[in-house]
């Protein structure tokens, strides 16, 4: 089975700010999923974890623009997100937190352009999930 790369959506309204603050452009903002695991890039920031740690996925959104854009970490839940648009994201939950710098991350949001395709790629790898947009 091959690795699939999905561009992270960068909205017109967000383009300048994500480039300035995070170095993210359409060429440097993506998430890959395959048998080896998840790898994501958002400008100067990168995240990766083996597939064995990914226990489920969940499509969520849309989100409010101000809370969605950029490289974010929720202070309450400690999840990390890479997003350039408020259109939504795929949340990946981990069996054990993933080390990211000095932080331990229990979940990661990928704000990819093709939410359904990203979720389908995870399902094809045996990772269960749900589309929360559909109730």
Task: Band the pLDDT of 135: cuts 50, 70, 90.
Answer: low
Distance, in Å, from the CA atom of 98 to the CA atom of 49, rounded to the nearest integer, reads 7
Q: What is the pLDDT of residues 45-82, one digit of tens each?
A: 999 999 999 999 999 999 888 888 999 998 889 999 99
Beta bridge partners of 29: 42
Q: What is the pLDDT of residues 22-44, one digit of tens each?
A: 999 999 999 999 999 999 999 99
Number of domains in the chain: 1
Residue partners of 77: CB distance under 8 A and separation at least 6: 106, 107
CATH of the domain at 91: 2.30.29
DSSP state of 8: B
Distance, in Å, from the CA atom of 8 to the CA atom of 11, rounded to the nearest integer, reads 10
Distance, in Å, from the CA atom of 28 to the CA atom of 37, rounded to the nearest integer, reads 19
For residue 48, give its domain range.
Answer: 4-134
Q: What pTM, to 2 d.p., does this model score?
A: 0.94
Residue partners of 113: CB distance under 8 A and separation at least 6: 6, 7, 8, 9
């Amino acid at each position: 089975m091959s690795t699939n790369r999905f561009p992270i959506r960068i909205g017109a309204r967000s383009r300048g700010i994500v480039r300035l603050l995070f170095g993210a452009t359409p060429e440097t903002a993506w998430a890959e999923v395959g048998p080896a695991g998840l790898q994501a890039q958002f400008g100067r920031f990168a995240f990766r974890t083996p597939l064995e740690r990914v226990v489920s996925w969940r499509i969520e959104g849309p989100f409010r623009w101000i809370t969605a854009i950029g490289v974010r970490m929720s202070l309450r839940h400690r999840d990390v997100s890479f997003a350039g648009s408020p259109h939504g994201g795929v949340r990946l939950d981990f069996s054990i937190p993933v080390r990211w710098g000095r932080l331990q991350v229990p979940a990661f949001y990928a704000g990819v352009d093709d939410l359904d395709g990203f979720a389908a790629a995870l399902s094809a790898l045996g990772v269960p999930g749900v589309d929360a947009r559909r109730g």
